Amino acid sequence: MHLEILKIRLQAQSSVKARNSPQIHKPKDAAPWRVLWLASQLDGLVQMATVHNALLAQGILVYFMEARSASSDACRRFDLIILHTTDEPHGEIEKAIRQIRATCYAPILILADNRAKGWLLTALPAGADAVLSTASPIEVILARCAALLWRWSNRPGFGSD
């Protein structure tokens, strides 16, 4: 799916809002946070339009890229990496996380379509900061994003990157 078609589909879903979404507070006078959303199949992102739109509503810039196209250097420009997995083998996810971690210290959130314990046991030791199911309530996904972004922005030296 082309990125422009994806943007149109996501905009069409923008009327869907998450209730009781946690507010994500960033440091005063800071540039907007940038989130890189990596997915093996951009087609599957339409189902996550609510998360995307809730992040946008809070002034967070969200960029999409196919996971196989992402280099670790490209990931360094972002404050949070969301790696959306569908049916990839665990070894491929582990490899992708380690590749990102080679040069990027931004938090990595894995959104997995299946909630098997194996995803936790693969992703966390490889360097992911959190693993959630795409079936998790929107408020839980946003709360985890908020926590990861808050910790990232409150690290020593933030703003001097």
How do the pLDDT tens digits run along the chain, 161 residues long? 444 444 444 444 444 444 455 555 555 556 688 999 988 766 666 667 888 888 888 888 888 888 777 777 788 889 999 998 877 777 888 888 998 998 888 999 998 876 556 777 888 899 999 999 888 888 899 899 989 998 888 766 555 54
Look-up: residue for tokens 């422009």?
4
In sequence order, the β-bridge partners of residue 39 are 66, 84
Predicted pLDDT at 158: 54
Whole-angstrom distance, CA of residue 130 vs CA of residue 132: 7
Residue 70 CA neighbour count, 13 Å, CB half: 30
What residues does each domain of the chain span?
35-153
Predicted pLDDT at 84: 87
Predicted pLDDT at 148: 93
Predicted pLDDT at 30: 62
Whole-angstrom distance, CA of residue 78 vs CA of residue 61: 10
Q: Among residues 119, 148, 139, which one has the least CA distance to residue 20?
A: 139
Distances (CA, A) of 102 to 25, 63, 67, 116: 28, 21, 15, 26
Within its chain, how far is the Cα of 115 from the centroid?
17
- Superfamily (CATH H level) for 35-153: Response regulator (3.40.50.2300)
Distances (CA, A) of 10 to 14, 19, 60, 96, 97: 6, 18, 15, 25, 26
Residue 28: strand, helix, or coil: coil
Predicted pLDDT at 29: 58
Q: What are phi and psi of 78, to 5 degrees?
A: -120, 155
